[in-house]
Structure 1
Amino acid sequence: MIETEVILEKDIFATLACPEQEGAFPSILLIAGSGPIDRNGNGPKGKYQTYLYQELAHFFTELGFITLRYDKRGTGKRSGSLINSGLSDLLHDAKAAVTFLQTQPNVSAVIVCGHSEGTILATDIAAEMTVDGCMLLSGGVDNLMEALYHQRQQAYRELFAMPGWKGWLNRKLKVDEKNEKKTEKIFQKIKQSSRDTIRIQGVRQPAKWFREHEAYNTRAALQKVTCPVFALHGDKDPLVESSVLEELAGLVQGESEYHIVKGMEHGLREQKEPKNILQMKKLMKTILERPLHKAGLQLMAAWLERYVTSGHKSV
């Protein structure tokens, strides 16, 4: 494998990984999830060092694919401000990366692979650009606001299920109803603002990002997708509602498949502990020491072999 740093447009720093053999190869663009994480999947100042996208890139390149992963605004070597960026800005960068791959003489096909929030970007690219495949990892079908709603519902279920007086008190106080009213007020304030950021209780929030995500119709975009679509969730992932993947075949025009992997969490690693959104941060350090889930990798490899190396193209 040969890795080279490239610059897309003026300041999008990225890593291009190619097989060592000469010739043309299909490519995979990795689109990161939410938050200030760089091209490798790592947070700032040594926090949340997941290396998820680096590991995925190496896995795909070892399968015979060219891979491209890039720094989000304000991460890695990239300048700019992520908190001031909206969905439109993130899409601009991702589409620039697709265009870069499409102009490379050694690239025979382009697959977009989004993780978490990146599944929304990958969906839009597959709907608006000509690509040869779309991979949705730990996300898909729902837009951001719908995903956040499911996450809050998961948290309420866990709060109510707490043993003893804690669970009783949460049920008695109706914490779900109170928090939903509070959340609605916050989102209304964000939607009424025209600024890129807004302060909520003294904390800056990415208002433009929320507004643009709230307005984005992921299902409508999926109805325009003609290339093969692959979706992968883990049954230990508390951040997604996997039942929505059942809609996939009825939305996209091309072929699709989805899988829910037993014992896999949001970051595609093995998890033996119960699914729990309230304990995610506490579990993260332990989980990051584990490998990417073997069954998840096998499913990705099988789909890529079946739909891409066989010469399947979008229509």
Structure 2
Amino acid sequence: MKYKINILIFSLISPFLFSQEKNYTEKDLSIPTNSVTINGTLLIPLINKKTPLVILIPGSGPTDRNGNNVQMINNSIKYVAEGLAKKNIATYRFDKSVLSYTQNNKEKIDSITFDTFIKEAKTVIKYFKNTGKYSKIIVAGHSQGSLVGMIASQNNTDGFISLAGAGRTIDEVLVEQIEKQAPFLKDETIRVLAKLKNGNLVEEFNPMLQSLFRKSVQPFLISWIKYNPQEEIKKLIIPVLIINGSKDIQVKIMDAKLLHQAKKDSQLEIIENMNHLFKEIKGDLNENMNSYTNPNLPVMRNLITKIVTFVNEIE
């Protein structure tokens, strides 16, 4: 009897395992740029025709191709890439360039600016355009990568997707965050950011803001603060999809709406219960925060569906 039960169980799970077989190939791909070699992963659907390609640009910090860093492993970008590949859309996701340097390369790390990220993204786009292997190329930028992607996409791609991207300049966002976390530092933050916005380095500031305004970071902030997402998205003459989640605790729905207002012919999608990492959150803040370190929690299917529909509708 035991033997028969085992056979029955095997017969039930075998078709399930077979149905999960990958319908795409996966390979590491490095792309040289003027500053550093970009290292990433290319997923290619197993079909005998040209497919669209979505280039996924990660968010802020030392984030890798999967959407992870040393403090947070969540596989957010990885799951998006795989979800699209299963729907016959090729994807390329890559590590932030800072991860290509060792601790001994401090001088090179400190020389990285926001413009560096834009130039690297443009090089990646150009690389794939030159291959001629794809029916269309779409850039999808997450969080900080949204602004990088929308600038790099200008006159370069067939479509752009903003994934939880800010709709305001970084100084506005930082002041808002400081006001929430440490209101007594708001005025000092405004003072420092005003100087940085004028292109000036700041020698003295409240030591409690050291992690935000340390000397090595200021040139990066100066290069970032000059870009207004609402102005940059207006420059796009391609189809644009703006996505945000109702449970995003980092980027407000208001930011997505500001981008949509600036680019009136864009498509706006607010996904119910989706957080900043595209995960479904039905409970409180603790559940939301815990998702940042849960690599097994999948991204929402609705997100993949909306991206696939947008990509396939681009002519």
TM-score, scaled to structure 2? 0.78
Relative to structure 1, the CA distance from residue 188 to residue 149 in structure 2 (aligned partners, 3 Å threshold; closer, same or farther) is closer
3-state SS of the aligned residue for 2:97?
A: coil
Q: Deviations over 1:215-246 (max 9, x none)?
A: 11222222211111111111111211212433
Q: Quick one: distance in 1 between partners of 2:175 and 2:201?
A: 24
Q: 1: CA distance between counterparts of 2:134 and 2:206?
A: 46
Alignment correspondent of 2:6: none
Q: Quote the Cα distance in structure 2 between the aligned partners of 1:197 and 1:139.
A: 31
CA distance 1:234–1:136, shift in 2 (3 Å): same
1:297 maps to 2:304: yes
Deviation at 1:199, TM superposition (A): 9.3
What are the within-5 Å matches in structure 2 for residues 166-315 of structure 1?
176=183, 178-188=184-194, 190=196, 201=207, 203=211, 204=214, 205-252=216-263, 255-274=265-284, 281=289, 284-285=292-293, 288-305=295-312, 307-308=313-314, 312=315
- Which residue matches 1:8? 31
Task: Please tell me whether the aligned partners of residues 84 and 196 of structure 1 are also in contact (alpha carbons under 8 angstroms).
Answer: no
Deviation, structure 1 residue 289: 4.2
Rounded to whole Å, the distance in 1 between the matches of 2:295 and 2:162 is 21
Aligned: 1:136 with 2:143 = no
> Counterparts of 1:229 and 1:140 in 2: how far apart (Å)?
15
TM-score (norm 1): 0.78
**Structure 1: runs of 5+ lacking an equivalent:** 157-174
Structure whose residues are more often helix by fraction: 2
Structure 1 position 282, deviation (Å): 5.7
The 3-state SS of whatever aligns with 1:74 is helix
The RMSD of aligned alpha carbons is 2.9
> Judging changes above 3 Å, is the alpha-carbon distance between structure 1 residues 113 and 294 closer, same or farther for their aligned structure 2 residues?
same
Find the aligned partners of 2:270 and 2:75 in 1 and give their Cα distance.
Answer: 22
**Letter of the aligned partner of 1:264 in structure 2?**
M
Aligned counterpart for 1:26 among listed residues 45, 52, 69: 52
The code of the aligned residue for 1:95 comes to K
**Following the alignment from structure 1 to structure 2, what is the Cα–Cα distance between the partners of residues 264 and 192?**
37
Matches within 5 A, 1:36-47: 36-44=62-70, 47=71
Worse overlay, 114-123 or 83-92:
83-92
